Amino acid sequence: MQVYVWRQRPLELVRATKRPRAPWTADELASIPSIKEAARRVFDHLIDSSARLGAIMARVGVCSDPSPDVGIVRKGMTELSRRTVGDTVEISWLRGLWESLHFVYAGNDAGEVQAFARALIAQGQQRKPESGERIIIDIGSAGSGKQPSAPFLVYVAFRRALNPSVVERIPFGPRERSAAREAEAAGRDGEAETARQTGGH
Amino acid sequence: MLTIRYWAASGTAGLSPLGDKANLLTEEARSERVLRSIATWCALNSLAFRVGVCSDPNSQAQLLETSLVEIHRLIDRDLLHAVYIRKPWNYMHVLHRTSDRARAERLMNSYVGIGRGIGQCENNDRDLIDAARHPPYFVYLLTGRVPTDFQTTQANTPSTMAPSLLGIAQG
């Protein structure tokens, strides 16, 4: 899984790759956009660019204390946040095999950040497919977690998806089956004929 | 520091935890007897235990010293919140040695079943460690204090006594 951190520069928003197992630095956390409009633009860009490739599934959530191991998949899960208190370690895992994870917003007020994450979900759900786009977008909340300390980060996880509410059907009845068998038999005969002609070489 | 005890047959008198890798138990009935004794001792002293298989008890003990043991989990949609405890184990009892991996795993599963019937057996399908790579295979039992409720973790201090070193009389 690729993990990206969006950075706010004076003139633009830039996507940076998070190095796996590298601890989060204060600069890294401070450079995540803290302006909501910037995060909205990043989110729109992500949805648009992903949707062009096909059906996508996105999950938006809030976390704090991001883990250095974020992006490393173990048993179908990736570690999202890790907090150590004495001898106990609290870890939040993101379940499922996601293709990419983007940190798009950082804020200091837990309630405000969660409200913003909900607003992003609503924004994504209201998005209408552009003309000619045959996409299905499934956007939802990743779940609520414990966010004990600031900064609170909004993340977006993406993966390609099929719409679970649509039963997909591919016609393959008796006619198709017999045609397929004939084609296979013809293919076998053709291979045997070719082998005879080449003398088995 | 995790203390390792190798259980061996001490002559004809009984079973002793003061063996080494060379004279470790290889009879299933005797190993099971040791396991039942330790599991019962743990149950009486509110200790947890875990059964495992490894190829090298020393390196496994070092690995376990830095490993985390899950004590609580909560699934919330796509998230899983888990609470782990560090260094919960105090003793590693090496119970059995075999060169057959299938036999070692069968023994381990059998011991887990026995352990669950006796006390707080912490074996689960969430273990991330598979340390049994090459023969010989050692079946071990870890003992320590693993809180069942993570809220009480802070109150519990991981100080435990060793199981009796007097040995287990052979029946």
Whether residue B170 has pLDDT greater than 80:
no
ipTM comes to 0.73
- Put simply, whether B129 touches A (Cβ < 8 Å) is no
Distance of CA A184 to the CA centre of its chain: 39
Whether residue A29 has pLDDT greater than 60:
yes
Nearest to B64 by CA among B82, B89, B40: B89
A111–chain B nearest CA distance, Å: 18
For residues A34-51, give the mean pLDDT.
Answer: 89
Domain assignment present for residue B127? The answer is yes
Domain assignment present for residue B100? The answer is yes
Mutation to test the B interface, candidates A79, A89, A94, most B Cβ within 10 Å: A89
Domain that holds residue B131: 3-163
Tens digits of per-residue pLDDT, A98-118? 899 999 999 998 889 989 998
Domain assignment present for residue B62? The answer is yes
Angle at B161 between CA B160 and CA B167, to 5 degrees: 145
Domain assignment present for residue B169? The answer is no
Domain assignment present for residue B25? The answer is yes
Domain assignment present for residue B21? The answer is yes
Q: What is the pLDDT of residue A20?
A: 83
Domain assignment present for residue B171? The answer is no
Whether residue B26 has pLDDT greater than 80:
no
- For chain B, the domain total comes to 1
For residues B72-92, give the mean pLDDT.
Answer: 84
For residue B126, the chain A residues in CB contact (below 8 A) are 75
Calculate what percentage of chain A has a pLDDT beyond 90: 21
Q: In what order do the strands lie in the sheet with A152-160?
A: A13-17, A2-8, A100-107, A152-160, A56-63, A137-141
CB contact under 8 A, A87 and B81: no
CB contact under 8 A, B81 and A59: no
Domain assignment present for residue B168? The answer is no
Mutation to test the B interface, candidates A63, A67, A88, most B Cβ within 10 Å: A88
Q: Which residues contact A49 (CB under 8 A, 6 or more apart)?
A: none
- Put simply, whether A161 touches B (Cβ < 8 Å) is no
